[in-house]
């Protein structure tokens, strides 16, 4: 319910021009009709050239050893973002432009495509912007990156180069005009055929970067004076040629000649916004020992999600051939992952298992005196954990009596030998430590560093007193170790009590399905398929099988 007030409402839909209007809520029910005009797509431009002076006075460019590798020069002050916007609007796209430090990252997902524009700017992209670009691509967003100095500015950021730009290295400035390296690539041929180089007016080092593409990238555009280096780099998460996820123009868009640059821009936008659908699939069941619903199954690359129904079934359709990873998660349960391969037109079946997260609380109640002013000695206390599993979370209870806890250093040592400091000379004249880390007390070092380690073995607490005059004792301490039940523990020995046909999935199906059944004892098993008239169609199984599912 809304309170009586005036609200600013923005309505957006793919391939329609967004509208923003003010709606006054002055009655229990208010109806506001509007009509959206059609567009080829909605595009957001993030402009990193907020300082116009940055596009006028270019200082000499220094190499890694501090020597001048390119002379300074005077630029014309043009913002490439303005030229990109004008060309896109002429083609028929709806465009919004925001600053490189004033954008709202959550808004990116409301657009068909995001363009990050740097033009000739010699200033690097802000760290926050680079992080958001990486997150956007990881989440399946479509990104066009433009700028003649981006690769040089960020060549030492290995993650950004590999995961966002998809380049192996920066090579040079001033490599000529924009060439056509792969005339069959969709960025060079659809809908506009680009057969000849695009003239580039080179004013200085901010206008172009020759780059080496990464192994997972394609190079549809090169440079006329260095054909082995790229001017246009693309990346796609699947082998379909019609579309992709990222296009990188390693040049200042304003320095490229019209109308050829607009044709290249249109090709890039069409490539990025084309929906591709494969003919492969992955499906299966997530088993949660009687509670199979509400599991989120994530498929990467593509970052697609499926939430299971009560039967635990999931499916992903329209996949291209390739390697994928499935991850199943549910609150209060363990997670499971599986790497699967999809073939052309193939249906891959993959089941996943989740088990309950359980917590064991173990304590050592043996009191020990803490030697005063003994920084190299101290005391050790041990708790043995008999269960072998991967640690999901951890809490530590400490009960130490001491009149001046700033003298104390308390370290937890895992069975694997990892040392983690819980308390280090904190608290001043405060006396005693009594509480749970991290619930009641913030640890000196995060307990998360131990997540994933094996729970089984001896956990040790090391307490030292590094000051003089004050004596204390360790009264007791406890561990709360959370971990996933083993698959065997969660479902018993997997020997069913009765003979049972447990159904099939998918149902209906085409062209294949999985039939599950349970056998309580070792013996001869025959599984026949009948049609609705009772006529036997085929015998699927006729063999001796061990007890199990």
Q: What is the CATH number of the domain that holds 241?
A: 3.40.50.880
Cross-strand partners of 310: none
Of 242, 273, 304, the last residue of a domain is: 273
Residue 326 and residue 384 in one domain: no
The C-alpha atoms of residue 196 and residue 219 are separated, in whole angstroms, by 16
Reduce the DSSP state of residue 340 to 3 states and report it.
strand
CATH code at position 313:
2.60.40.10
Q: How far is CA 334 from CA 7, 198, 236, in A?
A: 43, 55, 32
User: Which phi and psi (to 5°) does residue 273 adopt?
Assistant: -100, 0
Residue 93 and residue 148 in one domain: yes
Per-residue pLDDT of 436-468, as tens digits, reads 999 999 999 999 999 989 999 999 999 999 988
Mapping DSSP onto H, E and C, the string for 261-304 reads HHHHHHHHHHHHHCCCCCCEEEEEEEECCCCCCCCEEEEECCCE
Residue 432 and residue 498 in one domain: no
Residue 134 and residue 72 in one domain: yes
The C-alpha atoms of residue 191 and residue 271 are separated, in whole angstroms, by 9
Q: What is the predicted pLDDT for the residue at 515?
A: 78
Q: How far is CA 17 from CA 12, 86, 94, 114, 144, in A?
A: 7, 16, 6, 15, 20
Residue 367 and residue 508 in one domain: no
The C-alpha atoms of residue 108 and residue 142 are separated, in whole angstroms, by 10
User: Which phi and psi (to 5°) does residue 414 adopt?
Assistant: -80, 165
Structure-token match 């890694």, residue found: 64
Strands 218-223 and 226-235: antiparallel
Q: What is the CA radius of gyration of the chain?
A: 31
Q: How far is CA 119 from CA 9, 79, 103, 209, 466, in A?
A: 33, 6, 18, 11, 58
CATH code at position 461:
2.60.120.260
Give the other-Cβ count within 10 Å of 5's Cβ: 9
Residue 88 and residue 217 in one domain: yes
The C-alpha atoms of residue 80 and residue 250 are separated, in whole angstroms, by 13
Closest among 171, 73, 167 to 122, alpha carbons compared: 73
Q: What is the reported pTM? A: 0.59
Residue 469 and residue 381 in one domain: yes
Q: How far is CA 424 from CA 106, 128, 279, 464, in A?
A: 40, 33, 59, 10
* CA 379 to chain centroid: 44
Range of the domain at 479: 357-484
Number of domains in the chain: 5
Residues of the chain where predicted confidence (pLDDT) is lower than 50: 488-493
In the numeric block, which tokens belong to residue 335? 């997670």
What length does the chain have? 549
Residue 500 and residue 468 in one domain: no
In the numeric block, which tokens belong to residue 445? 């070092």
Q: Angle formed by the axes of helices 260-273 and 80-91, to 10°? A: 70
Of 436, 466, 484, the last residue of a domain is: 484
Closest among 289, 441, 439, 458 to 357, alpha carbons compared: 289
Residue 257 and residue 297 in one domain: no
Q: What is the predicted pLDDT for the residue at 530?
A: 79
Percentage helix, strand, coil for the chain under 3-state DSSP, each rounded to 5: 15, 45, 40
Cross-strand partners of 74: 57
The C-alpha atoms of residue 67 and residue 60 are separated, in whole angstroms, by 10
* C-alpha atoms less than 13 angstroms from C-alpha of 313 in its C-beta half-sphere: 9
Cross-strand partners of 472: 370
In sequence order, what E strands does 252-407 have?
A: 280-287, 296-300, 304-307, 313-319, 322-329, 336-342, 347-349, 352-353, 357-364, 368-370, 379-385, 391-401
* CA 72 to chain centroid: 39
Residue 345 and residue 401 in one domain: no
277, 338 contact by CB (below 8 A): no
In the numeric block, which tokens belong to residue 168? 């192996």
Q: What is the predicted pLDDT for the residue at 504?
A: 62
494, 548 contact by CB (below 8 A): yes
CB neighbour list of residue 243: distance below 8 Å, 6 or more residues apart: 186, 236, 271, 272, 273, 274, 275, 276
Q: Which strand ranges, in their side-by-side order, compose the sheet holding 304-307?
A: 304-307, 296-300, 322-329, 336-342
Q: What is the predicted pLDDT for the residue at 8?
A: 82
Residue 24 and residue 1 in one domain: yes
Residue 150 and residue 183 in one domain: yes
The C-alpha atoms of residue 50 and residue 97 are separated, in whole angstroms, by 12
Of 221, 249, 273, the last residue of a domain is: 273
The C-alpha atoms of residue 307 and residue 447 are separated, in whole angstroms, by 31
The C-alpha atoms of residue 136 and residue 475 are separated, in whole angstroms, by 51
* C-alpha atoms less than 13 angstroms from C-alpha of 344 in its C-beta half-sphere: 2
455, 389 contact by CB (below 8 A): yes
Give the other-Cβ count within 10 Å of 340's Cβ: 17
């Amino acid at each position: 319910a809304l309170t009586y007030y005036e609200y600013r409402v923005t309505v957006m839909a793919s391939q329609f021009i967004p509208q923003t209007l003010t709606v006054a809520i002055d009655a229990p029910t208010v109806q506001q009709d509007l009509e959206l005009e059609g567009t080829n797509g909605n595009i957001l431009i993030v402009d990193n050239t907020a300082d116009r002076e940055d596009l006028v006075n270019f200082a000499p460019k220094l190499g890694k050893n501090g020597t001048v590798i390119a002379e300074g020069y005077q630029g014309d002050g043009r913002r490439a973002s303005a030229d990109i916007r004008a060309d896109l609007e002429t083609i028929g796209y709806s465009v919004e432009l925001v600053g490189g430090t004033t954008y709202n990252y959550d808004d990116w997902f409301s657009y068909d495509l995001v363009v990050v524009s740097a033009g000739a700017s010699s200033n690097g992209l802000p760290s926050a912007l680079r992080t958001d670009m990486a997150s956007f691509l990881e989440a399946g967003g479509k990104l066009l990156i433009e700028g003649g100095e981006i690769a040089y500015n960020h060549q030492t950021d290995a993650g950004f180069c590999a995961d966002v730009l998809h380049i192996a290295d920066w090579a040079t400035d001033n490599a000529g005009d924009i060439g056509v390296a792969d005339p069959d690539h969709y960025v060079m041929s659809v809908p506009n055929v680009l057969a000849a180089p695009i003239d580039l007016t080179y004013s200085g080092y901010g206008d172009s970067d020759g780059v080496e593409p990464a192994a997972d990238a394609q190079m549809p555009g090169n440079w006329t004076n260095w054909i082995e280096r790229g001017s246009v780099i693309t990346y796609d998460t699947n082998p379909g040629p019609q579309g992709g996820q990222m296009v990188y123009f390693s040049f200042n868009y304003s320095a490229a000649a019209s109308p050829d640059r607009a044709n290249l821009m249109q090709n890039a936008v069409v490539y990025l916004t084309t929906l591709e659908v494969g003919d492969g699939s992955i499906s299966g069941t997530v088993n949660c020992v009687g509670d199979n619903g509400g599991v989120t199954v994530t498929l990467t690359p593509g970052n697609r999600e499926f939430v299971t129904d009560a039967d635990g079934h999931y499916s992903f359709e329209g996949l291209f051939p390739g390697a994928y990873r499935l991850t199943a998660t549910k609150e209060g349960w363990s997670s499971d992952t599986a790497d699967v391969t999809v073939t052309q037109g193939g249906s891959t079946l993959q089941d996943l298992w989740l088990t309950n997260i359980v917590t064991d609380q173990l304590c050592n109640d043996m009191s020990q005196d803490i030697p005063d002013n003994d920084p190299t000695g101290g005391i050790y206390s041990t708790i043995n954990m008999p269960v072998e599993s991967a640690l999901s979370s951890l809490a530590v209870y400490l009960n130490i009596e001491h009149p001046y806890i700033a003298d104390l250093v308390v370290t937890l040592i895992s069975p694997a030998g990892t040392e983690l400091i819980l308390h280090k000379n904190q608290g001043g004249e405060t006396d005693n430590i009594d509480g749970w880390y991290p619930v009641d007390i913030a640890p000196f070092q995060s307990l998360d560093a131990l997540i994933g380690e094996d729970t089984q073995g001896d956990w040790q607490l090391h307490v030292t007193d590094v000051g003089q005059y004050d004596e204390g004792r360790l009264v007791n301490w406890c561990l709360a170790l959370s971990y996933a039940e083993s698959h065997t523990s969660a479902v018993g020995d997997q020997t069913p009590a009765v003979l049972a046909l447990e159904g099939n999935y998918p149902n209906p199906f085409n062209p294949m399905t999985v039939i599950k059944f349970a056998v309580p004892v070792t013996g001869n098993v025959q599984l026949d398929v009948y049609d609705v008239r009772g006529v036997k169609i085929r015998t699927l199984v006729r063999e001796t099988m061990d007890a199990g599912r």
